[in-house]
Structure 1
Amino acid sequence: MEAFAEYLAKIDNPQHRARTEEVLAWVTKKYPNLVPQIAWNQPMFTDHGTYIIGFSVSKQHLAVAPERAGINQFLDEIVQAGYDHTKELIRIKWGSPVDFSLLEKMIEFNISDKADCSTFWR
């Protein structure tokens, strides 16, 4: 979590900071082999130099970015969870619960799908 300390400290809203920290800590604990880092001023996790998942904070939501393939793979579950989404990210409103099982599926998918990937992005 040291990699994210400065990023988290800049989140003014204490509830938003706590929620973001909770999600980042969960990923860190669940996937100790992933590399936590800040890139493009956003917290993200990589595996063997390839992007797995990233997060960003806005006034209304925590954004989760599993790349387009991750969105497409779990589109029905994203909708079922009640999350708004674009082609590249999912928006979890601050008042909504985090579906950690869905996050787990997206991370597992990206780790597996990108096992032989030699580039950062797909």
Structure 2
Amino acid sequence: METFADYLATIENRQNRARLEEVLDWVSKRFPNLAPRIAWNQPMFTDHGTFIIGFSVAKHHFSFSPEKIVIDRFSDEIKRAGYEHTKQLVRIRWDDPIDFPLLEKMIEFNIVDKADCSAFWRK
């Protein structure tokens, strides 16, 4: 979590900071092969240099972005989990439960789907 320490320190609300730290720590432990990094002022995880998932924070929620194709594929499950989403990101209100199994499926999908991808983003 050292990679994300400076970013997390910018989140003023301690509970929100702890919440995002919990999620980032979970991703790090569940997917130790992913590389944590900060890019575009956001914590993210990559695999062989390609983007897998990124996170951002707002006043009332945090978001994660796995790329549009993943959100399209899991849209129904995202809605069933009670989360709002756009074409590019999923919003989780700070006090909502985190559907870790859904997050895991989305990350796993990206890892497999981008296994042969040589670019950072899908084209």
- Say whether 1:21 aligns with 2:16: no
Q: How far apart in 2 are the matches of 1:71 and 1:59? A: 22
Output the amino acid matched with 2:30: K
- Say whether 1:56 aligns with 2:56: yes
State the secondary structure of the residue aligned to 1:16.
helix
1:11 alignment counterpart: 11
Q: How far apart in 2 are the matches of 1:108 and 1:7? A: 25
2:71 alignment counterpart: 71
2:89 alignment counterpart: 89
**Which whole-Å deviations, capped at 9, do the CAs of 1:42-77 have from their partners, x for residues lacking one?**
000000000000000100101010100110110010
Number of aligned residue pairs: 122
Compute the displacement of 1:78 (Å): 0.2
State the secondary structure of the residue aligned to 1:12.
coil
* Percentage of identical aligned residues: 69
Compute the displacement of 1:89 (Å): 0.2
**Which whole-Å deviations, capped at 9, do the CAs of 1:80-122 have from their partners, x for residues lacking one?**
0010100000000011001000000000000000000000000
Q: How far apart in 2 are the matches of 1:18 and 1:40? A: 21
TM-score (structure 2 length as normaliser): 0.98
TM-score (structure 1 length as normaliser): 0.99
1:45 alignment counterpart: 45
The alignment's C-alpha RMSD in Å is 0.4
Unaligned 5+ segments in structure 1 are: none
